[in-house]
Amino acid sequence: MEQKVAETAVRVLIVDDSATARLSLRQAFSEEPTIEVVGEVARGAEVLGQVRRLRPDLVTMDVYLHTENGLDVAATVMAERAVPILAVTAANHQNPELVYRAMAAGVLEVCAKLPSPQAADYPARRAELVRIVRALARVPVVRRWASARPSSAPSSSATEAREPVRIARQPPLPSDLTQNIVQSAEWVLLGASTGGPQLVCDLLKNLPRLVVPVVVVQHITRGFTDGFAEWLAANVRRPVEVVQAACVAKPNVVYLPGDGHNVELRGGKLLAPVSAPSSAFTPSIDVLFASAARHAGPSAVAVLMTGMGRDGAAGLLDLERIGATTVAQTPSTCVVDSMPRTAIDLGAARFVLPPKDIARFIATRCSAV
């Protein structure tokens, strides 16, 4: 008897050049009435056309197709017709370089291919895959700007600062973005979640050398922080440090909270308290922003960027109320716009800017070396 598909079933398009792998996913999803496989594609050149025709809620994408890179295919899809994409790969799905290249392409998450149905961990792995598919299918993604394409991170893990790329031949910012704001900022604070790593990387790459510290809270899976730090350091041409204990903040250094830690400002120091077990997000953008509202006041420039959920919106409102410079990314440019949109709805963002203007805006608030 043919299985009845639930009315609210997630419509999935499977992309994999292996017939065996496609069969494995189709069988795994066939056991779940809330997931419907609407199509299968073996060649990357056919994916965009099938996305347009079938209008799936989610695409599972193999990273390595027969003659194409699945991440390049994902980037093309996200530039033309945005849809949640889950990379499913036989490669090491915890490889930081692979993860950040995938995020740069607009992929929401990377997970491992399923083992044999006879494997002892198959039921648990299948259940986790189903959970991920359901969750990601509800993520409201938007088209990526056309220049977004995955690029391999350099193999170097050096953290020495090099001369940053400076913005050239850009039109001046509108006068309402350059007036009536504290010009001598002492902190730059960035918060991001889904879709954030490549955006954070691009922003930092386009900042001049600063005389203030930069603190970044990026929602990230435990175990990926060190890889994220190495990847950033190799790309942004400035030192990147992971904060796991109290330290004095230094100019032009990018700070990330360590695994299981939040990061807070206090005077000229950064603290790294262990996050509460009940915390919805670790690290928490709200924790950083709220501490800045208490201890940095108007001297902070805080930017809330792409991400799912509400983290950072309340903290940005705290900063706005005490006169700090508060910025939200323009929702239409976000991979997922929930976080900045929530901040805007709360009245927490004094400025709403697209990514191409955020770095220049920060530079007008901070002294450069």
> What domains are defined for the chain?
10-137 (3.40.50.2300), 175-365 (3.40.50.180)
Q: Which is catalytic among the residues 57, 219, 337, 357?
A: 219
- 188 within 8 A of 289, measured Cβ to Cβ: no
Q: C-alpha distances in angstroms, 268 versus 99, 244, 286, 289?
A: 33, 16, 19, 15
- Whether the bond into 150 is cis, omega within 30 of 0: no
Backbone angles phi and psi of 47, in degrees to 5:
-65, -50
Q: C-alpha distances in angstroms, 302 versus 50, 89, 178, 277?
A: 41, 36, 16, 26
348 burial via Cβ count (<10 Å: 0-12, 13-18, 19+): buried
**3-state secondary structure (DSSP) of residue 184:** coil
Return the pLDDT at 326: 97
Return the pLDDT at 161: 33
Q: Which is catalytic among the residues 193, 284, 291, 338?
A: 193
CA 119/CA 196 separation, integer angstroms: 35
Does 219 qualify as catalytic in the annotation? yes
Residues of the chain scoring pLDDT < 50: 1-2, 146-170, 180-182
Does 18 qualify as catalytic in the annotation? no
Does 299 qualify as catalytic in the annotation? no
Return the pLDDT at 4: 52
Q: Which is catalytic among the residues 16, 62, 202, 311?
A: 311
Measured in whole angstroms, the distance separating CA 246 from the mean position of its chain's CA atoms is: 26
Flag whether the pTM goes above 0.85: no
Return the pLDDT at 153: 38
Q: C-alpha distances in angstroms, 185 versus 175, 215, 367, 368?
A: 18, 13, 8, 11
